[in-house]
């Protein structure tokens, strides 16, 4: 057995690795999640309900209420005594079964009360409803972004465990190869039984590590399946490698993005605008402002046995539309001229929302500054780790070249292999930590992930 053969084992995945049923890239995982993730399904239902509610608010504000009433009346005279009022409606020779003149059908079209003008109070309420609808629309995008980052985290967590398992399987194969090599040297008197026992212990330890990592990978894949709403029996091999894209945002750019797009700031802005509208309405309620309404005609068409036709209510001109000006001025009680507690409560609500806005800006300015610094530090660390990875690979190659054709230095070779594997896994772990930190930061400021 030559050292080149052992090197090939180091460079390629172990043949004993379990084959997965289906390959899955990160892009494919996200596409599945957008179609099948249950949280996103519920969010789409909420969005549809919010859209319907907003359309109803729009109709209530802009359109009058028009009602159509259909009526059918049937009244039969079952019997009438001679000389009674009921008998007078019957023709000669008939005493039962003839319909009265009120029988027939009618259709009524009526226009209810419609507010023409109440000094913009209804307009303010509609604007708040519109802002709420816009915010709910944004929340759907934010939920999708949150699901995206969650899938990325679970995907790469499983991918990291997959890398660890592959590295452990490589180490196990190398340990088995060294056992065979040392055993052959023992037979030639070039190695001791102690060396053989030592390498067998290393082999058993490597086998236990493979078993542990297989269990951990199974758990991570099941978590990914649950997030994708996939059958738990589905098995994937993850094909997208652990890589990272350096963040290009400065603190000023990130903080500006946060103020415009972050979920917390959008919620704070909605609360502030709603409080302003509520205060404006409360102030108008204390003023002697009249309300102008429009009441419409009720038009009825009836088709009866005694004759049909159209009637109006009021029974004047059929196009009679009346504008009614009403003024209600509360004196005592809640909202009265001598009780402005409601106005003060509304003012306090506005002040509270302004303070919350300031708190949100101050707290998150500190968090964003710290996150930007942390990500920059992680990027510098990744550069150093990558250089360290290249050096460890070069060291391993030199170690194998210098020991070729000489008596086996098992410990030196094992240390070089372990160091190379350890540095590689540390580098992958660092990439995973960076991706996690960056996605959490982007989620905070309301930014989607960088395009690849």
Domain that holds residue 400: 246-290+327-447
pLDDT of residue 430: 94
pLDDT of residue 26: 94
Same domain? For 131 and 259 the reply is no
Q: How far apart are CA 158 and CA 222, in angstroms?
A: 9
pLDDT of residue 420: 82
Nearest CA-CA partner of 139 in 253, 60, 226, 51: 51
pLDDT of residue 216: 93
Same domain? For 347 and 395 the reply is yes
How sure is the predictor about 186, in pLDDT bands with cuts at 50, 70 and 90? confident
CATH of the domain at 61: 1.20.1600.10
Task: Detail the DSSP E strand segments found in 14-113.
Answer: 22-24, 66-73, 76-77, 98-99, 104-111
Work out the average pLDDT over 176-184.
Answer: 79
Nearest CA-CA partner of 149 in 452, 433, 448: 448
Same domain? For 340 and 275 the reply is yes
Same domain? For 5 and 58 the reply is yes
Model confidence pLDDT, tens digit, residues 267-278: 999 999 999 999
pLDDT of residue 415: 78
Same domain? For 276 and 375 the reply is yes
Is residue 74 in a domain? Answer: no
Same domain? For 172 and 203 the reply is yes
pLDDT over 70 for what percent of the chain?
75
Q: How far apart are CA 262 and CA 39, in angstroms?
A: 20
Is residue 100 in a domain? Answer: no
How sure is the predictor about 14, in pLDDT bands with cuts at 50, 70 and 90? very low
Q: How far apart are CA 412 and CA 194, in angstroms?
A: 16
How sure is the predictor about 443, in pLDDT bands with cuts at 50, 70 and 90? very high
Work out the average pLDDT over 252-260.
Answer: 94
pLDDT of residue 8: 43
Model confidence pLDDT, tens digit, residues 192-215: 788 788 888 888 988 998 999 999
Work out the average pLDDT over 340-346.
Answer: 83
In the chain, the number of structural domains is 2
Is residue 298 in a domain? Answer: no
Is residue 322 in a domain? Answer: no
Is residue 113 in a domain? Answer: no
Model confidence pLDDT, tens digit, residues 399-432: 767 655 555 466 777 777 778 888 888 999 999 9
Nearest CA-CA partner of 116 in 289, 297, 294: 294
Same domain? For 177 and 278 the reply is no
Residue 101 has pLDDT above 60, yes or no: no
> What is residue 337's three-state secondary structure?
coil
Asked whether the beta carbons of 410 and 199 are under 8 A apart, the reply is yes
pLDDT of residue 146: 93
Is residue 333 in a domain? Answer: yes
Model confidence pLDDT, tens digit, residues 29-71: 999 999 988 888 899 999 999 999 999 888 888 887 777 777 7
- Mean pLDDT of the residues in the chain: 80
Same domain? For 252 and 236 the reply is no
Residue 396 has pLDDT above 80, yes or no: no
Is residue 195 in a domain? Answer: yes
Same domain? For 168 and 264 the reply is no
Q: How far apart are CA 373 and CA 379, in angstroms?
A: 10
Work out the average pLDDT over 167-183.
Answer: 81
Same domain? For 263 and 160 the reply is no
Q: What does pTM read for this prediction?
A: 0.73
Work out the average pLDDT over 183-187.
Answer: 79
Bond into 209 cis (ω within 30): no
How sure is the predictor about 162, in pLDDT bands with cuts at 50, 70 and 90? very high
Same domain? For 183 and 143 the reply is yes
Asked whether the beta carbons of 329 and 288 are under 8 A apart, the reply is yes
């Amino acid at each position: 057995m030559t050292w080149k053969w052992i090197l090939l084992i180091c460079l390629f995945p172990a043949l004993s690795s379990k084959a997965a049923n289906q390959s899955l890239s990160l892009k494919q995982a996200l596409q599945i999640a957008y179609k099948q993730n249950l949280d996103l399904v519920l969010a789409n239902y909420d969005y549809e309900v919010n859209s319907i509610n907003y359309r109803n608010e729009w109709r209530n504000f802009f359109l009058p209420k028009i009602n159509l009433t259909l009526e059918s009346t049937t009244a039969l005279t079952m019997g009438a005594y001679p000389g009674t009022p009921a008998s007078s409606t019957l023709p000669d020779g008939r005493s039962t079964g003839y319909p009265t003149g009120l029988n027939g059908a009618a259709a009524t079209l009526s226009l209810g009360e419609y507010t023409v003008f109440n000094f913009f109070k209804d307009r303010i309420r509609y604007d708040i409803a519109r802002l709420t609808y816009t915010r709910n629309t944004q929340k759907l995008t934010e939920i999708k972004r949150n699901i995206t980052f969650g899938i990325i985290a679970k995907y790469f967590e499983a991918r990291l465990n997959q890398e660890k398992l592959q590295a452990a399987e490589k180490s196990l194969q190398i340990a088995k190869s060294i056992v065979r090599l040392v055993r052959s040297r023992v037979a030639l008197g070039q190695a001791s039984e102690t060396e053989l026992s030592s390498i067998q212990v290393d082999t058993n330890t490597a086998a236990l590590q493979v078993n542990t990592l297989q269990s951990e990978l199974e758990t991570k894949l099941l978590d990914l399946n649950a997030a994708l709403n996939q059958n738990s029996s589905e098995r994937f091999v993850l094909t997208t490698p652990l890589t990272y894209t350096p963040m290009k945002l400065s603190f000023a750019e990130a903080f500006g993005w946060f103020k415009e797009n972050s979920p917390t700031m959008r919620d704070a802005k909605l609360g502030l605008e709603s409080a302003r509208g509520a205060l404006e309405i409360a102030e108008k309620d204390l003023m002697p402002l009249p309300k102008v309404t429009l009441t419409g005609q009720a038009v009825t068409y009836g088709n009866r046995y005694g004759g049909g036709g159209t009637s109006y209510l009021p029974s004047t001109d059929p196009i009679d539309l009346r504008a009614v000006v009403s003024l209600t001025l509360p004196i005592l009680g809640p909202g009265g001229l001598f009780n402005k507690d409601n106005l003060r409560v509304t003012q306090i609500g506005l002040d509270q929302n302004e303070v919350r806005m300031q708190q949100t800006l101050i707290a998150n300015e500190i968090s964003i500054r710290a996150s930007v610094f942390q990500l920059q530090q992680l990027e510098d660390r990744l550069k150093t780790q990558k250089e360290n990875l290249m050096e460890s690979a070069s060291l391993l190659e030199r170690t194998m070249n210098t020991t070729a054709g000489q008596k086996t230095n098992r410990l030196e070779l094992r240390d070089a292999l372990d160091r190379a594997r350890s540095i590689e896994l540390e580098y992958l772990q660092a990439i995973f930590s960076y991706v996690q930190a960056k996605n959490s930061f982007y989620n905070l400021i309301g930014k989607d992930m960088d395009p690849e």
